[in-house]
Amino acid sequence: MYEVTHTKSKQNIRLSKFLSWLLRHGAVKDQIPIGSDGFVSVKHILNHPTLRGNFTENDIIKVVENDEKTRFAVRPNKESFDVRANQGHSIDLVKELELIPITRPDSFKCVVHSTFLTNWDKIKVEGLHRMKRNHIHFAQSLLDTNTVTSGLRKNAEIFIYINLKCALEKGLKFFFLLMELFLVQVTTMDM
């Protein structure tokens, strides 16, 4: 039904960035119907003034299929399909992502958060903050030059390792996404 070609044109990058913003942060503000699971109908997305007439359903499929960090998911609906951002939401309404609670810390060798030197002094004093997002993001491995690791920035300067056993014992609730990304549901995480 949809043709997928592996390309990273400027147009696809523009669409990917817009989808990330809309599905993570802007849907409610721009009056786009979004479910508590984060899914939005592709019809509503394509009718947004920024995209209207410039992109097609096939363009969105290309962006989803070619995204190295698996930022998006699709599912069929009665008319066509829905799209969602898999993580990174600041929209309070989005509460029903496919999160798997982590109860056994020994299942994971590494839980790491990446950031920049400019943030380090504040983190040392105040801990990690979710900022305006719904969760703090972590990955389960360091960057590998051959692969893209969701949850880690390629240009990060600092990697903060979490003692998962200790964090769980303190009552912090960690979740795992199928895309191998950890989320923790707290406003602030002391260091």
More confident residue, 185 or 115: 115
DSSP reduced 3-state for 54: coil
In 50-180, the DSSP E strands lie at 72-76, 81-85, 100-101, 112-115, 128-129, 136-139, 158-161, 174-177
Which element (helix H / strand E) includes 181? Answer: strand 181-184
What percent of the chain clears pLDDT 90, i.e. is strictly above it? Answer: 21
Average pLDDT across the chain, whole number: 78
Single pTM value for the model? 0.62
Q: How confident is the model at residue 176 (pLDDT cuts 50, 70, 90)?
A: confident
Tens of pLDDT, residue by residue over 100-124, are 788 888 877 778 888 899 999 998 8
Query: Residue 142: what pLDDT?
Result: 59
Domains of the chain: 10-85 (1.10.10.970), 100-189 (3.20.170.30)
Per-residue exposure over 113-138, b if at least 16 CB sit within 10 Å of its own CB, e if not = bbbeeeeeeebeeeebebeebbbbbb
β-strand partners of 188: 129
Average pLDDT for 116-136? 83
Judged by phi (left if over 0) then psi (alpha if -120 to 50, else beta), residue 122 lies in alpha
pLDDT tens by residue, 28-46? 899 999 888 889 999 999 9
